Structure 1
Amino acid sequence: MNTQEFLRSDHPIAPAMREQVMAHLLAIEAEHNVTILFACESGSRGWGFASPDSDYDVRFIYVNRLPWYLTVAPGRDVIELPISGDLDVNGWDLRKALGLMRESNPTLLEWLRSPIVYREEAETMERFRALAERVFSNAKGWHHYASMAKKNSREHLQGDVVRTKKYLYVLRPLLAARWIRHLPGVPPMRFAELAQHTLDASADAALIQEINALLAVKMRAGEAATGPRWPGIHAFIEAELARNAAEPVQALPAAGQAPLDAMLFDTVLRFDTAKQKEGPC
């Protein structure tokens, strides 16, 4: 069974919007004198269950010129554009991204597995992704997702009427935590792929059917749509939260910081040299 047959999934990006995103990325490089190494879609479009009025959440990783890294007072390590309509664009400097990789930051790791990539420096990102797998801490990743699911459930799923999308904001981290428990690597970003590898098509057939029905509502309704509880999904969430509380995962060995430092050093020098050869803009 392929992923599309298992759960609904859609990643809509109109050609005109893609062109708009690419223009924003070029403008950022020119204004800030940086090189964007990677840019992707995050949020519900990357997860595969966007509503008609979902934002476009563009996230990127960039490298500064060498002098930026050689000051006593560190510079601002994020670039954020004002939200324009439904376009939300921001990114992280490479050093910040590598520091977050060291902590197995799930947001960064999801970016790397986004099904919607706007730009990518292939050589750098191949090394970056391999390094992310190498230094990933299963315990840190599991704790993040388990805690997120618990928090979102407590805050959003306790009433008789709930916002439809909030079920997915609990299900997705629960399934990511389940992935790490059984497959101690970085979980995929796509919700359909995550479900396919953590739910059983036979044993969980009723649950899968209910999740598909929920996805159908989410993908045709607005972000603020509400409805009554989904009993099968709710029961699964309660059981999975209880298991996480009773059986936390055990930490596996992870690599140290030296490979991260080496990548920062090599990448900054490589792109600084390339900028110098290009000459002034």
Structure 2
Amino acid sequence: MTAQEEKSGELLRSAHPIDPAMRAQIMQALRDIEARHDVTVLFACESGSRGWGFASPDSDYDVRFIYVNRLPWYLTVTPRRDVIELPISGELDVNGWDLRKALGLMRESNPTLLEWLRSPVVYRDDAAAMPRFRALSEAVFSNARGWHHYASMAKKNFREHLQADEVRYKKYLYVLRPLLAARWIRTQAGVPPMRFAELAQRTLDAVHDAALIEEINALLAVKMRAGEAATSPRWPGIHAFIEAELAAHAAEPVTPLPQAENAGLDAFLCETVLRIEGGRA
């Protein structure tokens, strides 16, 4: 493994390369967003392949953030736009959600939001708000909704991208990652980790799945050196695992677990908006 790859005890390769110049550009973009839109960014992270830990040299920087508007924005009967999106510029793709929208998606156990909160690459993290935000996300998480999302995503990606004799490297990972996230939800409590290496290490057995882990590592090594569009013939061990895992999901839907009440989400929204507004006064 390279110097960029983390936690030497891990079974799977993992790298989260962030160019210092690009980090500085991202931080400036967040400051510009706050000034232009009169908002406060609570949280910003890397999503996509750099967050998952298997970026290619030409992978984009997918920056995602959560922000708070000024108090009057929340006190109108007319709905307002609750998303900020910057035009894609070169390698940089930046967009974010208002806090109220994010909490509404949390209530629905939206996997995209839950992955943001567990990204290993964080650019902004409000110390007063984000620990509680993450705790709320665990408390209201629906294992049934999460499992259905990931199982459906794996099935769809497998059907659409892995049927040819020649496939793109990253498409295997776009099936493996949701498959393992669905396995996580089936076998243990809580939200799956975002990092692919951690997810795989905690859902695969080092002895029983040794050959599969070796093949996944070989795939990761090539994918992290090749371009996003690079292809290869089928990987037989990975392909066989995917087919078996999809069959298991079809035969054994997850049993829903009890969820916490959502009242804490409203209280958190109110307290956070008032705190941010008070700090601007």
Matched, 1:150 2:155: yes
Q: Matches of 2:204 and 2:10 in 1, distance apart? A: 13
Q: Matches of 1:193 and 1:156 in 2, distance apart? A: 25
Q: Segments of 4+ in structure 1 off by > 3 A?
A: 2-5
Question: Residue 279 of structure 1 aligns with which residue?
Answer: none
Shift, 1:235, TM fit = 0.3
Q: Please, which of 7, 17, 26 is the counterpart of residue 22 of structure 2?
A: 17
Matches within 5 A, 1:105-124: 105-124=110-129
Q: Deviations over 1:65-116 (max 9, x none)?
A: 1100111111100000000101000000000000000000010000011000
Shift, 1:257, TM fit = 1.8
Shift, 1:5, TM fit = 3.5
Question: Residue 224 of structure 2 aligns with which residue?
Answer: 219
Question: Residue 188 of structure 1 aligns with which residue?
Answer: 193
CA distance 1:74–1:121, shift in 2 (3 Å)? same
Q: Please, which of 169, 172, 188 is the counterpart of residue 167 of structure 1?
A: 172
- Bigger share in helix: 1
Secondary structure of the residue aligned to 1:122 is coil
Matched, 1:27 2:27: no
Q: In 2, are the aligned partners of 1:40 and 1:114 still within 8 Å (CA)?
A: yes
Question: Residue 236 of structure 1 aligns with which residue?
Answer: 241
Question: Residue 270 of structure 1 aligns with which residue?
Answer: 275
Q: Deviations over 1:142-189 (max 9, x none)?
A: 000000000000000011111110000000000000000011210000
Question: Residue 49 of structure 2 aligns with which residue?
Answer: 44
Shift, 1:256, TM fit = 2.0
Q: Deviations over 1:28-61 (max 9, x none)?
A: 0000000000000000000000000000000000
Matched, 1:250 2:265: no
Q: Please, which of 188, 207, 213 is the counterpart of residue 208 of structure 1?
A: 213
Q: In 2, are the aligned partners of 1:7 and 1:212 still within 8 Å (CA)?
A: yes
Question: Residue 142 of structure 2 aligns with which residue?
Answer: 137
Q: Matches of 1:72 and 1:164 in 2, distance apart? A: 48
Q: In 2, are the aligned partners of 1:78 and 1:92 still within 8 Å (CA)?
A: yes
Shift, 1:18, TM fit = 0.6
Q: Matches of 1:271 and 1:5 in 2, distance apart? A: 40
Question: Residue 3 of structure 2 aligns with which residue?
Answer: none
- Matched length: 275
Q: Please, which of 60, 63, 69 is the counterpart of residue 64 of structure 1?
A: 69
TM-score (norm 1): 0.97
Q: Matches of 2:262 and 2:8 in 1, distance apart? A: 36
Shift, 1:22, TM fit = 0.3
Matched, 1:53 2:58: yes
Question: Residue 182 of structure 2 aligns with which residue?
Answer: 177
Q: In 2, are the aligned partners of 1:146 and 1:177 still within 8 Å (CA)?
A: yes
Secondary structure of the residue aligned to 1:45 is helix
Question: Residue 92 of structure 1 aligns with which residue?
Answer: 97
Matched, 1:8 2:10: no
Q: Matches of 2:108 and 2:269 in 1, distance apart? A: 16
Secondary structure of the residue aligned to 2:10 is helix
Q: Matches of 1:137 and 1:126 in 2, distance apart? A: 19
Q: In 1, are the aligned partners of 2:57 and 2:226 still within 8 Å (CA)?
A: yes
Q: Matches of 2:96 and 2:10 in 1, distance apart? A: 34
Q: Matches of 1:69 and 1:5 in 2, distance apart? A: 45
Amino acid aligned to 1:127: R
5+ unaligned residues in a row in structure 2: which ranges?
Answer: 1-6
TM-score (norm 2): 0.97
5+ unaligned residues in a row in structure 1: which ranges?
Answer: 277-281
Q: What is the alpha-carbon root mean square deviation over aligned residues? A: 0.8
Question: Residue 4 of structure 2 aligns with which residue?
Answer: none
